[in-house]
């Protein structure tokens, strides 16, 4: 990954309906979104000139904003078009896209009724979240310090910036201990997800994946479930206890950034990337590029 800081690059960022030079896309220090995490965002990928599941991502952005009690001052169609235009303006056909919407600086305090809602879209080249070596062997995960909170605690289905505080802390601790990522349990102690992707397990040819009742039901997760079902693979969504990990042979994580990445270990449990994980990883790579997926 490039070490060039994200505020010091060439290119154009779409900001509130206009393109601004990359380095000039700034916010004030007294921005409500910065102080009170009143911000929602998306992570999308364009493959060969087409943004995968663009409409689903844009709709999720709008729903996330609604859950945080603000309204995006554009239509879904306008944001879809702006995403495509931002890729074109930057000359990219394979890219990661980061739309974000946040409350401005008209008010600073818990109440933010009269803040202006801003929207920005940035795109950049981001080939793979994990290195090819990590993908081949399966990434190593440790247990996260924090748990996914109950739906009574926060808007768990929003892709909102504040919800990532526990992810960053958990991922940092994992990296400091030599791991790639951390597996989070939920507030009941069931397996939930990693700090930025959903998780699947394999047992006797079937996929098992946690029920997304207190974390993001990822767009990639939904795509992988549909893909597996189309290939006649059984998919079981249920609550999974950590001790059950001993019964699974394969494991992989899925997300827009992570795509389909095999997992080699989670804490004390070991997995071997096998036919199902590697097959679905290849199929997913074909599907997002609109290539035929073998039956």
Choose, by CB under 6 A, the member of 33, 210, 255, 262 that binds ligand PMP. 255
| Residue 108 CB neighbour total at 10 angstroms | 15
Tokens linked to 128 = 């793979």
Tokens linked to 163 = 């919800």
In the bound state with ligand PMP, the residue whose beta carbon lies nearer, of 104 and 255, is 255
Indicate whether 196 belongs to the interface with ligand PMP (CB under 6 A): yes
Q: How far is the C-alpha of 196 from the C-alpha of 294, rounded, in Å?
A: 28
User: 171 to each of 82, 140, 210, how far by Cα in Å?
Assistant: 32, 12, 20
Indicate whether 218 belongs to the interface with ligand PMP (CB under 6 A): yes
Task: Give the up-direction half-sphere exposure of residue 133: CA atoms within 13 A in the CB hemisphere.
Answer: 1
Q: If we measure between CA atoms, which residue out of 151, 145, 235 comes closest to residue 195? A: 145
Site track for ligand PMP across 148-177, x = CB under 6 A:
-----------x------------------
| Residue 112 CB neighbour total at 10 angstroms | 19
Q: How far is the C-alpha of 258 from the C-alpha of 260, rounded, in Å?
A: 6
Choose, by CB under 6 A, the member of 38, 115, 256, 261 that binds ligand PMP. 256
Is 201:245 a contact under the CB 8 Å cutoff?
Answer: yes
In the bound state with ligand PMP, the residue whose beta carbon lies nearer, of 80 and 193, is 193
**Whose CB is nearest to ligand PMP?**
218
Indicate whether 202 belongs to the interface with ligand PMP (CB under 6 A): no
Site track for ligand PMP across 26-55, x = CB under 6 A:
-----------------x------------
In the bound state with ligand PMP, the residue whose beta carbon lies nearer, of 31 and 256, is 256
Indicate whether 221 belongs to the interface with ligand PMP (CB under 6 A): yes
Q: Which residues bind ligand PMP (CB under 6 A)?
A: 43, 159, 193, 196-198, 216, 218-221, 255-256
């Amino acid at each position: 990954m490039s070490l060039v800081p994200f505020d010091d690059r060439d290119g154009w960022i779409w900001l509130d309906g206009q393109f601004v030079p990359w380095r000039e896309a700034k916010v004030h220090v007294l921005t409500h979104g910065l102080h009170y995490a009143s911000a929602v965002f998306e992570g999308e990928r364009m493959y060969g000139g087409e943004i995968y599941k663009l409409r689903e991502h844009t709709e999720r952005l709008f729903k996330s904003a609604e859950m945080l009690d603000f309204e995006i001052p554009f239509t879904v169609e306008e944001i879809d078009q702006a995403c495509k235009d931002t890729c074109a303006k930057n000359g990219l056909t394979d890219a990661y896209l980061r739309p974000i919407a946040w409350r401005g600086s008209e008010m600073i305090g818990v109440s933010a009724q009269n803040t202006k809602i801003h929207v920005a879209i940035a795109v950049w080249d981001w080939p793979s979240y994990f290195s090819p070596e990590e993908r081949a062997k399966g990434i190593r995960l440790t247990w996260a310090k924090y748990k996914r909170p109950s739906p009574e605690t926060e808007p768990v289905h929003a892709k909102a910036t504040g919800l990532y505080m526990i992810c960053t802390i958990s991922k940092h601790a994992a990296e400091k201990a030599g791991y790639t990522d951390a597996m989070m349990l939920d507030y009941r102690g069931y397996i939930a997800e990693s700090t930025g992707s959903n998780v699947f397990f394999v047992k006797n040819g079937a996929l098992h994946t946690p029920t997304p009742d207190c974390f993001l039901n990822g767009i990639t997760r939904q795509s992988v479930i549909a893909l597996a079902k189309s290939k006649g693979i059984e998919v079981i969504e249920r609550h999974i206890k950590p001790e059950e990990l001993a019964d699974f042979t394969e494991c992989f994580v899925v997300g827009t950034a992570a795509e389909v990445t095999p997992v080699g270990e989670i804490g004390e449990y070991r997995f071997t990337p096998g036919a199902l994980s590697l097959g679905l990883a290849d199929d997913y790579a074909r599907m997002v590029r609109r290539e035929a997926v073998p039956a």
